[in-house]
Amino acid sequence: MNGDLWWVPSVIVIGLVLVGIWALVAASRRRTRARLGQVSAEAAELARSAAISLVRADDLVQDTTDELGFAIAQFGESSTREFHAALTTSKRQLSDAFALQQKLDDAVPDSDAERTRWNHQIIQLADEATGRLTGQARDFTAKRGVERNAPQQLDELRRRLGRVSDRVAGGATTLDRLGVSYSAPALAPISGNVLRAGTALKAALASADAAAARLEAASSDPVGEQLQVAEHALFQATQLLDAIETGEDQLHRGFANLQTALDAAGSELTEARALRDGHEESDTSAALNLVITTAASVQASLREPGRLSDPAGDLLRLEEAMNGLDGIRSEARNRQLRLDNARTALAGALLTARSQITVTRDFIDAHRGRVQAAARTRLAEAERQLALAVAVAEADPVTALDTARRAMTHATDADALARYDVH
């Protein structure tokens, strides 16, 4: 019995070894999962940091763009060159950072190493852009010396407010004048600018009054914020009123361009009518006439006296109508050119076909008993095709030319077959 159980200890040892191996494998897998989890968490944190840096830099670039406009209005372009250069550099870095983020977000698979490297680059670019602009903003805050020079700045601000306020009435007059000639859609981009400029001026005046009240009361409260708000609102009002002047100039230029285009359209319509009246194909003339009628109707409506103009929209309507005319006119010209060329070539083709038919007919007549049916059939077809070509020559020279060429081919074939039969 004991001799029969000698293998039991061996089985137990093997089992213990297998259990140990399984435990080692399980522990190794747990460590691997832990490492992968740590790597994944670190990658996610890096991506989050990159996104935060990118958003912070983008917001700062937008704010600084406005700030630069205020600084130029207050100090002039010569004093803001460094500020402008810093903003340009930061915008370029931000653009590079967004390009890297787009590579991370697109559908192309990226390796872990690439994602890590690109996220580090995004953080570096965004943080450099942010640091540069923050330093510039700090420098300009110090340069303004808002608190120290507040009384002088307030006086200058009020003078500028007065000048811009005087422009509001002029802007309203301009819009009224433009409304006599231009439609509401044409004026839509600037029609509300006077009202918005007035609102901005009221906000600027209210902030300036608040700053003045603090100065008069010798309050210890800073006035820089009120002055900055007033500067911002004044800048907005100025931009809105400038846009009215720019818009008026653009409308006048657009109207002049429209008149030039209408004159050109008149010349093109005259050419198209001449092409229609002289075209030999009735179907083509009819198609051309339809497009001419449509284009002429658009042109006439745009020239209607007393009509309110929308230069951009009107020019688009005219271009669409004339594009349709250009297409059919080009096709009609090509078809007429083909007719003219066919008519020129037709006389020669008919002469050549007749000559070959005559030569072949004379040869067959001279060897009547020896030429077989195939050659005679080809010659008969050549004569038939020649007759058809002559019949349609006047009405359809293109078809006549093709038919005459077929007659020549059949006559040549007939001649070759006939000579083969004889020899």
Whether domain 11-144 has CATH 1.20.140: the reply is: yes
pLDDT of residue 80: 78
Say what the alpha-carbon torsion angle 192, 194, 195, 199 is, to the nearest 10 degrees.
130
Q: Tell me, what amino acid is at 364? A: I
Non-local CB neighbours of 332 within 8 Å, separated by 6+ positions: 275, 276, 279, 284, 285, 287, 288
Alpha carbon distance 338, 284 (integer Å): 13
Alpha helix segments (H runs only) across 188-223: 193-216
Fold of 339-422: Butyryl-CoA Dehydrogenase, subunit A; domain 3 (1.20.140)
pLDDT of residue 22: 59
270: left (phi over 0), alpha (psi -120 to 50) or beta: alpha
Distances (CA, A) of 408 to 130, 343, 384, 386, 422: 84, 17, 11, 8, 21
- The pLDDT tens digits of the residues spanning 359-374 come to 999 999 899 889 999 9
Hey, what are 120's tokens?
Answer: 């580090």
**Domain locations in the chain as residue ranges:** 11-144, 150-257, 263-332, 339-422
Non-local CB neighbours of 416 within 8 Å, separated by 6+ positions: none
Name the DSSP letter for residue 309.
B
Span between the terminal Cα atoms of the chain, in Å: 118
pLDDT of residue 374: 93
Non-local CB neighbours of 100 within 8 Å, separated by 6+ positions: 118, 121, 122, 125
pLDDT of residue 144: 59
Alpha carbon distance 193, 191 (integer Å): 6
Structural contact between residues 350 and 404, judged by C-beta atoms closer than 8 angstroms? yes
pLDDT of residue 34: 46
Alpha carbon distance 369, 357 (integer Å): 19
**Chain-centroid distance, C-alpha 256:** 25
Distances (CA, A) of 321 to 267, 333, 403: 14, 18, 39
- Per the listing, tokens 């004044």 go with 234
Q: Which helix (H) or strand (E) holds 324?
A: helix 311-366
pLDDT of residue 237: 92
**309 φ/ψ angles, rounded to the nearest 5 degrees:** -95, 145
Alpha carbon distance 375, 416 (integer Å): 8
pLDDT of residue 32: 46
Local structure of 187: helix, strand or coil: helix
Nearest residue to 159 via CA among 205, 203, 215, 197:
205
pLDDT of residue 155: 80
- Per the listing, tokens 């340069």 go with 143
Local structure of 182: helix, strand or coil: strand
DSSP calls for 220-284: SS--HHHHHHHHHHHHHHHHHHHHHHHHHHHHHHHHHHHHHHHHHHHHHHHHHHHHHHH-S-HHH
Alpha carbon distance 405, 399 (integer Å): 10
Rounded (5°) CA angle 419-422-423: 85
Where the chain has pLDDT below 50, the residues are 1-3, 5-8, 13, 32, 34-37
pLDDT of residue 79: 65
Alpha carbon distance 215, 223 (integer Å): 8
